[in-house]
Amino acid sequence: MLNIILMGPPGAGKGTAATWIKEDFSLPHISTGDMFREAMASNSPLGKQIKDIVDNGGLVNDELTCALVKERLSRKDCQNGYLLDGFPRTEAQAEALKKMGEEIGRPVTLAINLTCPDEVLISRVTTRRVCPKCGASYNVITLKPLKEGICDHCGSALIQRKDDNEASFKVRLENYYRSTAPLLDYYKKEGLLHEFDGTLSMSNLKVEISAFLRSYL
Ligand code: ADP
Ligand code: ZN
Q: What's the pLDDT tens digit per position in 123-168? A: 999 999 999 998 889 999 989 999 999 999 999 999 999 999 999 9
Of the listed ligands, the closest to the CA of 47 is: 1
Of the listed ligands, the closest to the CA of 131 is: 2
Domain 2-116+178-216 coded CATH 3.40.50.300: yes
Look at residue 175 in the predicted model and tell me its pLDDT: 96
Does residue 188 register a pLDDT over 90? yes
Ligand 1 close to Cβ of residue 8 (< 6 A): no
Q: How far is the CA of 215 from the centre of ligand 1 (A)?
A: 30
Cis peptide upstream of residue 9 (ω within 30 degrees of 0)? no
Look at residue 135 in the predicted model and tell me its pLDDT: 86
Spatial CA neighbour of 98 closest among 61, 90, 125: 90
* For ligand 1, atom 2: residue with the closest CA: 10
Look at residue 212 in the predicted model and tell me its pLDDT: 98
- d(Cα 125, Cα 22) in Å, to the nearest integer? 22
Are 163 and 130 in contact, with CB atoms under 8 Å apart?
no
- d(Cα 211, Cα 187) in Å, to the nearest integer? 21
**Mean pLDDT for the chain?**
96
Does residue 194 register a pLDDT over 90? yes
